[in-house]
Amino acid sequence: MTIEFSKTLRATTTPIPGVVLYDLPVHGDNRGWFKENWQREKMLALGLPDFAPVQNNISFNEKAGTTRGIHAEPWDKFISVASGKIFGAWVDLREGESFGAVFTAELDPSQAIFIPRGVGNAFQTLEDTTAYTYLVNDHWSADAQGQYTFLNLADESAAIAWPIPLEQAELSDKDKAHPRLADVTPMPAKKILVLGADGQLGKALRASYCGNETVEFVTRKCFDLTAEASYRGRNWKNYSTIINAAAYTAVDTAETPEGRKSAWAINVTAVANLAKVAAAHGITLVHVSSDYVFDGTLELHDEDEALSPLGVYGQSKAAGDAIVATVPRHYIVRTSWVIGEGNNFVHTMASLAGRGIAPAVVNDQVGRLSFTEDIAEGIQHLIETGANFGVYNLSNDGEPQTWADIAADVYELTGHSRDAVTGVSTEEYFKGKDAAPRPLHSTLDLNKIKATGFTPASAAERLREYLDK
């Protein structure tokens, strides 16, 4: 066998989404050759997913013509040849438009290929004493075998042109008995798990993902974030993403002894449990944060601002953010002044207007509303576009306003006089009341999420639509 030495490390896409062929530099002399079969830093720079291999397997094949496959396992694989040469064939057996797509190539030790979960893998040795090696990102188990998907090597629709005809090749009886493509049940995609599905954001996520069977919604009754049993009773290998839409949000009650315990149990301890699960299983964790992680001294908050919470609620959210930031695959979505289905500030103001009440509303806190439909769409955008992991501010767009400005808009849009709303300072409004401290400036810089291609609607536009409903 002749090996081409000193190739440039290079990635080449294939007709199967996610399947990438690599040229590997092999360095040789009179003694033999050496190569870096897997080099994480260089591979990531070429765009290979950081798939975290946990097991290295080698298949030794004594004779040319040995043929194995077509097997699709529930994990990702990085395949290369240690010695000899193979003809490789890969068929997409995942649910979706690319189901049945085929790619073939000859591989020697100077090449490797990345095969995502659900893509059928097969090879035929072209030389004696061929060794075939692969890294996988999950441990083999007997239970996992029930999740395999198989295709017959001789399937007519795949029409793989095996160099050595199958009737002359070495095949196992099991491989001969695998089904044709028409009888294959495609491997389902990994699921997205939405926690807190009965809250304001959870309801918006239900609407955003309506009809998507790969998204699973669970409420507090079904999944108690504070109970260890909730984390043990689920097969986390079947999930790609967790969206944590659950939170303790009673800002003032959090200042009480019982409220403080509840805030930390849900916003910190439960988040730590989710972070452990996500890190252990390579799951993307989406966590919703708050403007309350800042003290509000800056008029505009970007994603790099140091955390500086004023009260217990803000402190618990800041602690949760710090935990989530340790998860390799994470999105922290920071919002402000959330409005969705259910009781909220806009709903309250509209109710007061309808009853002819003239309220006193705070006029020295400045920010923007965040409507849950835009938060949900922004989260979906980050996940589906594969945006860089990290923190993203996400509120609605437009000129910042005070709560009093927004209340006046609600009155006007519902056919009442703006003058019914009286502005008062935060200090005046909460005088004599047990209340948590509030940041006076809550406006979030949206440039980072806009750079990913997502521009939230203006708060004024969403307010009109919300009140029209």
Catalytically annotated residues: 71, 134
Q: Please, what sign has the CA dihedral across residues 179, 180, 182, 188? A: positive
Pairing of strands 239-244, 191-195: parallel
Which residue spans within 100-202 are E strands per DSSP? Answer: 102-107, 111-115, 119-125, 130-136, 149-150, 191-195
Query: What is the amino acid identity at position 17?
Result: P
Three-state DSSP class for 19?
coil
Q: Which residues contact 315 (CB under 8 A, 6 or more apart)?
A: 309
Q: Please, what sign has the CA dihedral across residues 326, 216, 101, 182? A: positive
| Tokens, residue 319 | 């602690």
Measured CA to CA, the distance from residue 327 to residue 369 in angstroms comes to: 29
Tallying the residues shown for the chain, one arrives at 469
358: Cα within 13 Å, side-chain hemisphere: 7
* Burial of 256 (C-beta count, 10 Å sphere; 0-12/13-18/19+): middle
List C-alpha distances in Å: 113 to 58, 82, 460: 15, 13, 50
Measured CA to CA, the distance from residue 321 to residue 333 in angstroms comes to: 10
Question: Among candidates 349, 391, 401, 326, which has minimal Cα distance to 370?
Answer: 401
* Burial of 112 (C-beta count, 10 Å sphere; 0-12/13-18/19+): buried
Rg (CA), the chain: 28
Phi, psi values for residue 169, rounded to 5°: -95, 165
